[in-house]
Amino acid sequence: MSSFIRSALSGVFALAVITGHASAAPMQSSAANMTKTDQVPFKFPLDNGFPNIKLGSDAFKQIQWEAHGTLPNTPLPTTISDGTAGILQVIAFGEIFEVALFQSLVNNITNNVPGYAIGESTAGRNMILETLKAVVAQEELHYIGANAILASAGRATIEPCSYVFPSTNFDDAITFASTVGDLVLGILQEVAHDFAANGDGELVPLITSVIGQEGEQNGFYRFSRGRVPSSLPFLTAGSGSFGLSSILQNIAVPGSCPSLGLIKAPVFEPLTILSTPISECTSEVWFSIKSKLTKTDDLRLVYINQQNAPVVNTLNNVTINDGTITFSAPFEFYKFTLNGLTIAAVTKSAGPFTNATEVAAHTSFGPGLIEIN
Ligand SMILES: *[C@@H]1O[C@H](CO)[C@@H](O)[C@H](O)[C@H]1NC(C)=O
Ligand SMILES: *[C@@H]1O[C@H](CO)[C@@H](O)[C@H](O)[C@H]1NC(C)=O
Ligand SMILES: *[C@@H]1O[C@H](CO)[C@@H](O)[C@H](O)[C@H]1NC(C)=O
Ligand SMILES: *[C@@H]1O[C@H](CO)[C@@H](O)[C@H](O)[C@H]1NC(C)=O
C-alpha cells in the first residue's frame, strides 16, 4: 500500500473517529421531520451546464474525464417496452437527485460551510473530495445514459426538480448518502428483474454494472463512518415506488418537478418513524401516519430486509387522534438479523408477501428507512 493511500485512509478513519461517525445516527427521524421551507433549495443547472449537456460536446467530454470513464459507446436501443421506458424514467428521476445530493455535499465541503469543514488540506479531506467529485460525474453519466436510451427509443426524457436535503453537517450527509445508496441498491434489483421480464434483457448487464458501482460508493460511505464496508451477504430488496415516494415526501421541493406527470409508478403517503435511535436493542418501533381512517384492523406494518420473506406485523398500541394514527410494531432484530437497511411500509393487505415488489403493490404508507450497523 502506498504511503499516500495509507495516510489518506488513516485520515478518513481519523475523521470517522473524531467526528463520531461510528455512533448510530437516526437519519430516518431527521428526514421525516425535515421542514422544506427554511432551506435554500438546490437547483440546476450546474456550473458546467448540466443537465443541458449535448452528447459529444466539450462539457460532455469533461464529465466523462471527471467520471474516470465513458458512457457505453455501443449503439443505443431504438425500441424498448412501455414498462422499461417507465423504469428508465424513474431511474433518471433518482439519478439526477443523486447528482444534486453529491454536488451539494462537494460545494459544502469545498466552501467549508459550517458543519462541513472536515480539516483544511488534510489527506483525508482531499481523498473525500476527489471521491465525491468522481461520484458527481458518474451520477451525471448515469442520468445522461438513462435519458439517452429514452430519447433513442422515442420516449420522453426526465428533467430535474429542486431539492432540500435533511443534512446540515458532514456526518449526517454521509449517513444520508449511505441510506440513499442502500435504497437504490434494492431498487436496481427489481429493475434488473423487470428488464428481463419485459423482454429487454440486453439492458441487464448495463444495470448490473451500475449496481456494482453504487455498491463501491456505499462501501466508502460506510467505511468512512467506521462501519464494515459490506453491510450484508444479500442486500435488502426494494421497489421503485419506495425511492420515488422517499424523494417526493422528503427531498423534492413540492411543485418543482416538471417531469412528475410522466411518471406512472405510485407515490405513497408518508410513514413517520417516531423511535430514535433504533438499534439491536430496540424491541418495539413506534410509527405514525396521517389518515382519516377510523379503524386499522386491515393495516399491517411490513419490514423488508435482505432477500428474506417480508415480515408482516399487526399494529400494536394504536391511538387515533385528530387525523394522526400512532402505533408500534415489534422489531425482532435477533430473530431475523436485521442489519443494514430495513424498509418499513404500511400495507392494506395482510400478505403473506413473497418479495419487495409485492409489498409495494399493496403499500399505502411508506417507506420508513431503518439502518442498523
Ligand atoms: C418532529 O416533528 C413533530 C411534529 O411537527 C414535532 O412535534 C417534534 O418535536 C419534531 N421533533 C424534532 C426532533 O424536531
Ligand atoms: C449543504 O449545506 C446547506 C446549508 O447548511 C444544507 O442546507 C444542505 O442540506 C447541505 N447539503 C448536504 C448534502 O448536506
Ligand atoms: C415477486 O414475486 C412475484 C410473485 O411470486 C413474482 O411473480 C415476481 O417475479 C417477483 N418479483 C421479484 C422482483 O422478485
Ligand atoms: C405495545 O404492544 C405490545 C403488544 O400488544 C406490547 O408487547 C408492548 O409492550 C406495548 N408497548 C408499550 C410501550 O405499551
The pLDDT, as a whole number, for residue 123 is 80
Distance 96 CA to ligand 3 centre (A): 28
Nearest-angstrom CA–CA distance, 136 and 1: 27
Distance 330 CA to ligand 4 centre (A): 8
> Which residues does ligand 4 sit against, CB inside 6 Å?
284, 316-317, 328
Report, as an integer, the average pLDDT of 107-133. Answer: 91
Distance 333 CA to ligand 4 centre (A): 16
The pLDDT, as a whole number, for residue 3 is 41
Q: Which atom of ligand 2 is nearest to the CA of 177?
A: 13
Q: Which atom of ligand 2 is nearest to the CA of 164?
A: 9
Closest CA to ligand 3's atom 11: 357
The string of pLDDT tens digits covering residues 216-246 is 999 999 998 999 999 999 999 999 999 999 9
The string of pLDDT tens digits covering residues 59-81 is 999 999 999 999 999 999 999 99
Query: What ligand has the least distance to the C-alpha of 331?
Result: 4
The pLDDT, as a whole number, for residue 40 is 94
Nearest-angstrom CA–CA distance, 31 and 69: 33
* Confidence band of 288 (pLDDT split at 50, 70, 90): very high
Closest CA to ligand 2's atom 10: 168
Cell of residue 312, nine digits = 408482516
Closest CA to ligand 2's atom 4: 168
The pLDDT, as a whole number, for residue 112 is 94
> Which residues does ligand 2 sit against, CB inside 6 Å?
39, 101, 104-105, 108, 113, 165, 167-168, 173
The pLDDT, as a whole number, for residue 37 is 55
The pLDDT, as a whole number, for residue 270 is 98
Closest CA to ligand 4's atom 10: 317
Nearest-angstrom CA–CA distance, 164 and 10: 32
Matching residue, cell 435504497: 183
* Confidence band of 122 (pLDDT split at 50, 70, 90): confident
| Amino acid residing at 217 | Q
The pLDDT, as a whole number, for residue 119 is 82
* Pocket flag, ligand 3, residue 357 (CB < 6 Å): yes
The string of pLDDT tens digits covering residues 180-224 is 999 999 999 999 999 999 999 999 999 999 999 999 999 999 998
DSSP string computed for 218-250: HHHHHHHTTS-SS--SSPPP--HHHHHHHIIII
Distance 250 CA to ligand 4 centre (A): 29
Main-chain dihedrals φ then ψ at residue 371, nearest 5 degrees? -125, 125
In this structure, are residues 11 and 125 in contact, taking their beta carbons and an 8 Å threshold? yes
Mean residue pLDDT of the chain comes to 91
Residue 29: pLDDT over 80: no
The pLDDT, as a whole number, for residue 155 is 98
> What percent of the chain stands above pLDDT 70?
90
The pLDDT, as a whole number, for residue 39 is 84
The pLDDT, as a whole number, for residue 299 is 98
Residue 304: pLDDT over 60: yes
> What percent of the chain stands above pLDDT 90?
87
Query: What ligand has the least distance to the C-alpha of 273?
Result: 1
Query: What ligand has the least distance to the C-alpha of 251?
Result: 2
The pLDDT, as a whole number, for residue 51 is 98
